[in-house]
Copies of this chain bind each other. A is one copy, B any other.
Amino acid sequence: MPRTAASPQRGQPTIVSIAERAGVSIASVSRVLNGLGARRDTVERVERAAAELGYVPNAVARSLKDGRTRQLTFAMPDIGNPVYVAMVRAIQSVAKAAGYRLLLHSTDAVVDDELAVLRSLGDRTSDGLIICPIRITDAHIEALRAAAGPVVVIGSLPDEVPVDSVRADSVAGASLAVHHLYETGRRRIAFVNGPADTVPGRNRHEGYRAALADCGLTYDPSLVVHTDFGIESGAEAAEALLHRSPDAVFCANDQLALGAARALHARALRIPEDVAVAGMDDSALAQAGWPPLTSVDLGSTERGRRAAELLLERLGAPDSPTPHTTTAPPRLVVRASTGRAAPDA
């Protein structure tokens, strides 16, 4: 059954319905709607018809025509982590200002999911992608090279991969925290880290070790726990570390630190008098607990903003050959959880 032009699929008005109602051609409708020249009365009739029909231009048709969707995709491991929330906010704000919508993907850090997202750039659903993988495999690198559209990576890529990226300096960040703990008198600094096989996990561990060496402290493996990022894990890890009697617990993110703080409170240990606690990310969580948490700001918001800006630049000049890499400098934010130890501690 052939469908007549006057009865479109969903009853939604199209330029055809407007043209019929206004008694002009669809080309004129298009011109008027796009503010190009037209005779006064043509303009009026078209605008009236459009208003009366409640016309809204079909964005899909427009996209097909001009090859862009005005959508950006952000893929991150877990929207439950405040760090990624901060990134989403920053990206969303830049995107919105530039007239782009934001598509969200939670990958749960599953490699296949991340690769699928990368490949899906080819389906033209969005004009560009910001992806934040916590592991970077050879498959990632291959997929990045083969990407069918602009990509910005939030994370640490090998230098030879020709892709824009924004990285945190978590080596320096971890080091900052350890130095601070040392300077406020701590000597047995435990470390609750995330998974050892992730980029952040490796880097934070490296920073921790290096800073200990700087301070003339010996690295003691029994003061280090690897777990996953999460409040419960932090509590369990801290619990397990307590019999090593640390005087400080440095955690690879704020969620772990909050968990650690809870474990200490539960044992009636005072923070910071008995044990200091420091986290990383300086997320909203750092100020949620008691005492407020010393934390290393790794610039999540900054990184999100910068990634979005890079992506927009790339969309403006697709063939600019040189990939940009920015590194957000870490910043130590000292709060009450790391004051001086009690004299007798």
Contact = CB atoms under 8 A, between A and B. Distances in A.
A125 B101 contact: yes
Interface in A77-111: 79-80, 85, 88-89, 92-93, 96, 101-106
Question: Residue among A9, A59, A261 with the most chain B CB within 10 A?
Answer: A59
A60 B63 CA distance: 7
A58 B291 contact: no
A323 interface: no
A183 to B, nearest CB: 25
A267 to B, nearest CB: 12
Contacts of A345: none
Interface stretch (A186-194, A219-227, A237-245, A280-288): A280-288
Contacts of A262: 287, 290, 292
Contacts of A289: 258, 288-290
* Most chain B CB atoms below 10 A, which of A80, A124, A125: A124
A59 B125 contact: yes
Interface string A44-66: 00000000001111111101100
B284 A261 contact: no
A327 interface: no
Given A106-B89, A289-B290, A122 B80 contact: no
Given A79-B89, A103-B103, A290-B265, A124 B67 contact: no
With a 10 A CB-CB cut-off, give which of A55, A79, A102, A292 has the most chain B CB atoms: A79
Contacts of A148: 12, 54, 56
A225 to B, nearest CB: 20
Contacts of A96: 106
Interface in A220-267: 231, 258, 261-262, 265
Given A60-B64, A69-B60, A104 B92 contact: yes
Contacts of A292: 262
Contacts of A101: 103, 105, 125
Contacts of A58: 64, 123-124
Given A56-B119, A56-B122, A60-B125, 10 more contacts: A64-B64, A79-B89, A79-B92, A92-B104, A92-B106, A93-B106, A102-B105, A103-B104, A262-B287, A288-B288
7 contacts: A9-B67, A56-B123, A60-B125, A80-B85, A102-B105, A231-B287, A258-B289
